[in-house]
Amino acid sequence: MVEQAPSTEDDRQPVEVVDLLALARDRSIDGRTRLVQIVGDLFFDSGRVLSDRERSHMTEILRQLIHDVEKSVRRAVADRLASEAKAPSDLVVALANDEIEVAYPILTESAVLQDIELIEVMAHRSMKHQLAISIRESLSETVSGALVDTGDIDVIKSLLENASAAISQKTMEYLVEESQRVDAYRNPLVHRHDLNPALAKRLYWWVSAALRNHILETYKIDPTELEETIEGAVVDLMGRKRLTTPPNANRRSLPSRSRWLAR
């Protein structure tokens, strides 16, 4: 008879790798959970030196069984793997595509995930997965661009609030233009360290008085110069719009980022 899972972690008895075979024959949920817990303990035991073969076997056990155990166990494994720079890639990717409660520590912390894997998660999982990715440290321009391509205002706002995320200049230009109609972008845009003076001057036209003051103080801009150009530019814009827009034409939204980049 297979030993049942003890009530607490402290009650567990040491188990050698060679003894796992008997437990592996138990196909019950409790048996699967117990096996994952034991293998996880052995895998992450800093005081135990594992051979490459043992590590490979444990990785395979975790990979095959991780979706057969309850969510709390999967989350515990994810919590452990999130900070492991040498965690098995396929297991990390599997957890990253799990329910958000399981995937969250992996998506926000794991250095094992590559850009292409993050983009795949964005494409096939939920908005909550996208939000988790948006707060990762040191996002690349490629991943930031993919987050903007989701078109989700909350995801893009979260990305803009991530000071460590790299955002290409072209994407910044696009988001500044988008901020004319999406006021949620304005505050994080104005406070980004990589907003250049030219884009700051453009933002000045439609942000709040407080954000205008921030722009003036941060970029050492002469307010007289800006105020003198705003009225003339608006008049010119409205004049051209009257000449080119039919009276009953529907308003058009700004182009997607892909169309913007193709210009």
Digit-coded pLDDT (tens) for 14-52:
455 556 666 666 667 777 777 777 777 777 765 666 677
- The answer to whether residue 97 scores a pLDDT higher than 70 is yes
Please report which helix (H) or strand (E) contains residue 257, including its range: helix 257-262
Handedness of CA 147, 148, 149, 151 (dihedral sign): positive
Give me the residue label for tokens 């230009």. Answer: 173
Taking only the tens place, the pLDDT of each residue in 62-77 is 777 777 788 888 898 8
Spatial contact of 147 and 122, defined as CB atoms under 8 Å apart? yes
Taking only the tens place, the pLDDT of each residue in 159-193 is 999 999 999 999 999 999 999 999 999 999 999 99
Domain count, the chain: 2
Range of the domain at 204: 168-263
Among 63, 95, 127, the domain-final residue is 95
Spatial contact of 113 and 96, defined as CB atoms under 8 Å apart? yes
Q: Which tokens hold the place of 192?
A: 């980004």
- The answer to whether residue 138 scores a pLDDT higher than 70 is yes
Whole-prediction pTM? 0.76
149 within a domain of the structure (yes/no): no
Taking Cα atoms as reference points, which of 28, 142, 136, 33 lies closest to residue 77?
33
* Distant-in-sequence, close-in-space partners of 261: CB < 8 Å, separation ≥ 6: 170, 171, 174
Residue type, 204: Y
76 within a domain of the structure (yes/no): yes
Among 73, 95, 117, the domain-final residue is 95
Among 95, 122, 145, the domain-final residue is 95
Taking Cα atoms as reference points, which of 111, 136, 30, 65 lies closest to residue 77?
65
69 within a domain of the structure (yes/no): yes
Would you call 193 helix, strand, or coil by DSSP? coil
Q: Which tokens hold the place of 92?
A: 């990390």
151 within a domain of the structure (yes/no): no
105 within a domain of the structure (yes/no): no
Work out the number of other CB atoms within 10 angstroms of the CB of residue 82: 20
